[in-house]
Structure 1
């Protein structure tokens, strides 16, 4: 093993030679944790990407990492292998699936060779979940939908098994949510994509906090995919049950992280979607919204664009309606159709149908008075509030307290 790295070190720069030497020393001294950290640098660090090609990384994995696989952190070994495989442009999807299955088999064989399974030793369930979930991406590209669904069911059974509750890692959960997002995208399940994105982001941020990798950039390299942000915002826009999305709009990581896209068109798509979801859909005036939506649809492969445009116009109206009701004065329990029409700029004769649509989606509850053309609001769907909405709620609570105190005092004095 060490001799292999020694041969490689004969024809490389001083920095790379030093890295190979460190790996050799750590291996000889059996300092497995430190060796794993140094391998992270070899496989993921930008400083070595030019000199150590992906093909060389594959050979290093086969000749150096694989022989000592039982001594290393199996999830990190899995990370190295998946990363190299994802950057391999020569192997077919079938070959990649076969190689992933091969690694999984080796890890499971190590479990089977364990003599005493009752000494607190936990099988390599995390690396198995990570490998299985990684295969889903390739299987979906091969249109093996049923196989992908079966793998996810098996992974979910493990995640929900109370026996493994304290042993399933956040990294395994992240792999699960990543793969289910791929499945949601494949099936155009936009509502599910949004909810699973929240869970994925939560796991990702937890791994950042826990410093899963020695360098935070490595986590981004191994778990995020190109077009992550435009796919997320597109799902928000097309989801027919999502009408408030402050969890994403106010997420600091989403707002500050730089995400990679695969083309200039995807960059343009991301910029458009950010404006539409983060700004235009919340504005009362719909001019910029409709202009951006038309431009957006011209960049996509969606069919029935006219029908989709109608849905998106209605979605904006519902978002504005909910915003109006949520931020209204607490003492004002009724709103006239005329008042709603003026404040969200929707034709008055369309307000009743809009309210009925909102109630059918369980976005709000109330009683519509068709004679007086008004609605009495009794409930509105809870939401994650923005800073502005929190201030409005505070003012409403203060007003409610003052009104309640005034009413109570008047009753006592009567």
Structure 2
């Protein structure tokens, strides 16, 4: 009881001493040492160094979890206006990880008011909409997005969606680059909205944008669950016909289900044989979402097989005969199936060209750019080498033929 009274006394140094005494020396001597450094930096008013120490030595230490919220409320907030406001929001988010959604909302609401008051003071304004401090504006957006995330957890989907729409408008109005923490929060929360709405394609894209904002994937929690959901959404997305971005991303190595990893790679390369092996093995039944969409996945892998055929064609000859397609894709039975699939590719914008029914061939003049795997890059290298050799041959021919003209 006396400890609690000491913390509530309002003296930041008393807070540090009280919390430090709660840490068992046998648990983490480094954390205790960090608290002594905090006292020193606070007394010297070295706010930047203090915030760096908090971020790297205190909040990244797992033994600080039980004291983070009290540290934030009774120590950090005492000099909150001296810190980068985005980092202040970041500290709160790390402090309320163990809180209930209701308590989290209350803490976010209180911080929002603090940041707003600071922004009004710095901008010498009286209305929030007139705040012109970019750091404060982004911090307020950060808080709003996180509030929307908590509301999603509570099941308030419509309210959270409306908040996200407003946040998007505010982000679009920013005249400077958006901080990565704000972007990560926005894309991560937006992905959750898309997941709830069953929009697999949007979930896939938002998740990739979220990952692009994370500087150190190793520090990301639930990596296995995140990459698994991204892969499933990519497979089921009706606008996703290339998986190069997730396959080449470092998070892909955290995908534990080897069969799912093989399935993603098979669809990316249009490998019908591996696809059929996975489907026939029954492993796909482990994920009901996938097992109930096998026909869709089969259509998708056939499309990717056609894309691979076109991709591997020489640059100067992108014409594919029906017979070649039927031979490479056994799932297609006749010319009608070929034409239907090609029209599907054309409508999806995966290729541009036209069908020559008279000659029973497809003439392609454009293929959608996509992220390539190392194997596909190898194919591209071979094509470039072939092209380079042809240019040399042409140069040699022109050199020899030109001699007669000069004579």
- TM-score, normalised to structure 1, is 0.80
Task: Name structure 2 gaps, 5 residues minimum.
Answer: 1-11
Equivalent residues of 1:122, 1:167 under 8 A apart: no
- Residue 5 of structure 2 corresponds to none
Query: Please, which moves more after superposition, 113-122 or 366-375?
Result: 113-122
CA shift, 1:399, in A, is 6.3
- Residue 388 of structure 2 corresponds to 398
Deviations 1:315-363 (A, max 9, x none): 0001111011011123333222111121233334132221121112121
Q: Distance in 2 between matches of 1:22 and 1:394?
A: 58
Indicate the RMSD between aligned Cα atoms, in angstroms: 3.3
Equivalent residues of 2:270, 2:304 under 8 A apart: no
CA shift, 1:288, in A, is 4.5
Equivalent residues of 1:368, 1:374 under 8 A apart: yes
> Is the counterpart of residue 310 in structure 1 residue 295 in structure 2?
yes
- Residue 150 of structure 2 corresponds to 138
Give the 4+ runs in structure 1 shifted more than 6 A: 117-120, 402-414
Q: 1:65 aligns with which of 54, 71, 76?
A: 76
Considering Cα pairs closer than 8 Å and 6+ residues apart, tell me whether 1 or 2 has the greater RCO. Answer: 1
Q: 1:178 aligns with which of 184, 188, 194?
A: 188
- Residue 341 of structure 1 corresponds to 326
CA shift, 1:296, in A, is 5.3
Residues 10-409 of structure 1: pairs in structure 2 closer than 5 A? 10-11=21-22, 12-13=24-25, 14-41=29-56, 43-46=58-61, 49-50=62-63, 52=64, 54-88=65-99, 91=100, 93-114=101-122, 116=124, 121-161=133-173, 164-166=174-176, 168-205=178-215, 220=220, 227-251=225-249, 253-255=250-252, 258=254, 267-268=256-257, 271-279=258-266, 282=269, 284-289=271-276, 291-292=278-279, 295=282, 297-302=284-289, 305-306=291-292, 308-349=293-334, 350-385=337-372, 386-395=376-385, 397-398=387-388, 401=391
CA distance 1:373–1:167, change in 2 (3 Å): closer
Equivalent residues of 2:85, 2:135 under 8 A apart: no
Query: Please, which moves more after superposition, 174-183 or 362-371?
Result: 362-371
CA shift, 1:276, in A, is 0.9
- TM-score, normalised to structure 2, is 0.81
Deviations 1:225-260 (A, max 9, x none): 661111111121111122123233223x3346x58x
Q: Which of the pair has more CA radius of gyration?
A: 2
Q: Distance in 2 between matches of 1:217 and 1:368?
A: 48
CA shift, 1:193, in A, is 2.5
